Chain A
Amino acid sequence: MSTQTRPAMGWFVADTLAVTRRHILKITRVPESLFFSLIQPVMFVLLFAFVFGGAINVGEGGARAYREYLIPGIFAQTVMFAVAGITVGITTDASKGIMDRFRSLPMHPGAVLAGHTLASLVQNILVLFVLSVTGFAVGWRIHGSFADAALAYFVLALFAYAVTWIGAWVGLHMPNPEVASTAGLAWLFPLTFASNIFTPIATMPGWLQPIALWNPVSCIALSARKLFGNPLPQMGNSFPETHTVPLTIAYAFILIGIFAPLAVRAFKTRNSASRA
């Protein structure tokens, strides 16, 4: 028995895949966790499609138009809430000492987080698929070209991947899983609700409109609406409305560029006084 030699980049890939496999195995062992990550977006679809939908007016087409407007919004919300699983998962690993075990191994320091975020991406792609089926069932349709639809799913998956790095970074700073599942996710709510996911921005008070317009969550939803060919009620011609897709992709890369290095640094230097 001997340890193998490989260039550092080769190890990064090998270690990342080993960690990814761990998390994918976990999804198959605890299908409930996947089920519950699906339940919330599906409930939101049903709630807004059938309960609140009638009260929100997006112009011509009535309830059916609202459902077509709504589903891309739920996609955006789901992509953002994808952060919950990894935030809590990372804090749980840290509190159980698994993080310390990884850190005491001669593995690539970036691989633990890269593997975890990659596994989250796989799970989120699955969630997006189930959500699309649900949307289809309530009357949502893709009207655009195949290429546009593929780009829409790419943007959604890319953004889901970007926010998991925020989750990884936040998760490394949480003292325990209980705090991680509450305080660690608190930032999500203002961000997702001050957006166009449920209602057009033109219906909001004037001071909130620019915030909502530039909010990345609005950009994700608007990108999806444009690319899927869904209703675009009360559109203006501000920069985020005219350059939505490139702006959304830029947001995703900026988030990865900021939070991936921060999270890896936090992982490497995790100094826990409480366990000393």
Chain B
Amino acid sequence: MTLAISARGLTKHFGEVKALNGIDIDVEQGTVVGLLGPNGSGKTTTVRILSTLLQSDAGSATVGGFEVGTQPDQVRNVIGLTGQYAAVDEYLTGRENLELFGRLFHLSKADAKTRAAELLERFDLTDAADRSIKGYSGGMRRRLDLAASLIGRPQVLFLDEPTTGLDPRSRQGMWEVIESLVADGTTVLLTTQYLEEADQLASRIIVLDHGNVIAQGTADELKNQVGGDRIELVVTNAADSQRAADVLAKFGSGPAQVDAEARKVLLPVAGGSNAIIDVIRSLDEHGIAIADIALRRPTLDDVFLSLTGRSAEDESVAGPPARGRRGRRGGN
């Protein structure tokens, strides 16, 4: 196993604000690791330290085998960075931007031109290549920004909230592009506050909260921490709820929970969608009428909630979580 990124005890304080409290991060070469956490959890600070923009107060890190603190130039030779803003010059054309960054990456004039043309083609920007960025849509700007970070064929790519602020279609487009990069063998460290995005793109997820790593693993491992799939059903007659739980016990991977008042039965299952067929058939045989049934997989939001007691999408500074959210999930 070769580590493309390895950080130990990274610490960064901004005055009184403890942005990072000594975190460890390992990213294996050729994989995508997602840094997941709410605003202010330390994601961006981590990326800024690893991409040499910020000095850590304590701890050390290597990227592509080079020390971030003492060999920043070597690190910059092997990384690409896409931040939260499309960091391109508005008044230049897409091609001029890419050629500028190519030259600053110390490609020869001819190489910078060729590379810019390649990237414009790859990111579907050839038609807009000679127009100034001012006329680009948000999605096009982000694609150009990502293209700019790939100018030097980086071994390690940092993507800081690459899809924040994009509409769902552009986001889907970005995901496809990122997936194709990974297929080429690029190592990616991605930050996101979208659970779905981490789930979709990252092979491993590191959950950050208030500058600490609070969990890590694959999306499935994290979801398993809160339990596997559950069948959630609502019986038509309140009197049937206990009977339904008894009848279904044999299909469960754990004890069923009954909420008679809400006419609800929650059954942990191992078989996923196959289990739901058995359950419906069995309920039908016993003449138990149901109003609703669903197979529910734990989401990363459930993971975050179980780890921190609050939802990832709540602002970390907003105080106690909204009552509605907790109440709704209180029975889980």
> Which residue from A4, A97, A273 sits with its C-beta under 8 Å from B15?
A273
Q: Is A22 an interface residue (CB 8 A)?
A: yes
A275 to B14, CA, bound (A): 11
Contact with B along A15-48 (1 / 0, CB 8 A): 1001101100110011000000000000000000
Residue of A nearest to B158 (CB): A104
Q: Which of A82-101 contact B (CB under 8 A)?
A: 96-98, 100-101
Residues of B within 8 A of A26 (CB): 89, 91-92
Q: Is A102 an interface residue (CB 8 A)?
A: yes
Contact with A along B79-120 (1 / 0, CB 8 A): 111011111111110001000110111111001001100000
> Which residue from A1, A96, A104, A111 sits with its C-beta under 8 Å from B53?
A104
Whether B77 contacts A106 by the Cβ 8 Å rule is yes
Whether A3 contacts B107 by the Cβ 8 Å rule is yes
> Which residue from A2, A104, A271 sits with its C-beta under 8 Å from B52?
A104
Whether A25 contacts B92 by the Cβ 8 Å rule is yes
Q: Is B212 an interface residue (CB 8 A)?
A: no
Q: Is B216 an interface residue (CB 8 A)?
A: no
B188 to A: closest C-beta gap in Å: 15
Whether B106 contacts A11 by the Cβ 8 Å rule is yes
Whether A4 contacts B108 by the Cβ 8 Å rule is yes
> Which residue from B12, B17, B44, B52 sits with its C-beta under 8 Å from A103?
B52
Residues of B within 8 A of A1 (CB): 107, 111, 114-115, 153
A256 to B: closest C-beta gap in Å: 24
Q: Is A107 an interface residue (CB 8 A)?
A: yes
Whether B105 contacts A106 by the Cβ 8 Å rule is yes
Whether B44 contacts A104 by the Cβ 8 Å rule is no
Whether A105 contacts B105 by the Cβ 8 Å rule is yes
Given the known inter-chain contacts A97-B85, A100-B53, A106-B73, please indicate yes or no for A30 contacting B104, CB distance below 8 A.
Answer: no
> Which residue from A18, A25, A29, A100 sits with its C-beta under 8 Å from B83?
A100
A15 to B51, CA, bound (A): 20
A111 to B153, CA, bound (A): 22
Q: Is A234 an interface residue (CB 8 A)?
A: no
Residues of B within 8 A of A98 (CB): 87-89
Q: Is A9 an interface residue (CB 8 A)?
A: no
A242 to B: closest C-beta gap in Å: 47
B314 to A: closest C-beta gap in Å: 19
Q: Is B204 an interface residue (CB 8 A)?
A: no
Q: Which of B15, B42, B55, B90 has the most CB atoms of chain A within a 10 A radius of its CB? A: B90
Residues of A within 8 A of B86 (CB): 96-97
Whether B14 contacts A276 by the Cβ 8 Å rule is yes
Residues of A within 8 A of B106 (CB): 3-4, 6, 11, 14, 106-107
Residue of A nearest to B80 (CB): A104
Whether A4 contacts B107 by the Cβ 8 Å rule is yes
A268 to B: closest C-beta gap in Å: 9
Residues of A within 8 A of B153 (CB): 1
> Which residue from B19, B87, B114, B115 sits with its C-beta under 8 Å from A97?
B87
Residues of A within 8 A of B114 (CB): 1
Residue of B nearest to A29 (CB): B91
Q: Is A269 an interface residue (CB 8 A)?
A: yes
A66 to B: closest C-beta gap in Å: 40
Whether B132 contacts A29 by the Cβ 8 Å rule is yes
A25 to B97, CA, bound (A): 11
Q: Is B297 an interface residue (CB 8 A)?
A: no
Residues of A within 8 A of B11 (CB): none
16 pairs, A vs B, C-beta closer than 8 Å: A21-B100, A22-B89, A22-B92, A22-B100, A25-B92, A26-B91, A29-B92, A96-B87, A100-B48, A103-B52, A104-B81, A269-B55, A271-B54, A273-B15, A275-B84, A276-B17
Other A-B contacts than A14-B106, A25-B91, A276-B12, 7 sampled, CB-CB below 8 A, are: A1-B111, A3-B105, A4-B106, A29-B132, A104-B52, A275-B44, A275-B48
- Sort A-B residue pairs by CB-CB distance and give the 3 closest, nearest first: A97-B87, A273-B14, A97-B85
Q: Which residues of B contact A (CB under 8 A)?
A: 12, 14-15, 17, 19, 42, 44-45, 48, 51-55, 73, 76-77, 79-81, 83-92, 96, 100-101, 103-108, 111, 114-115, 132, 148-149, 152-153
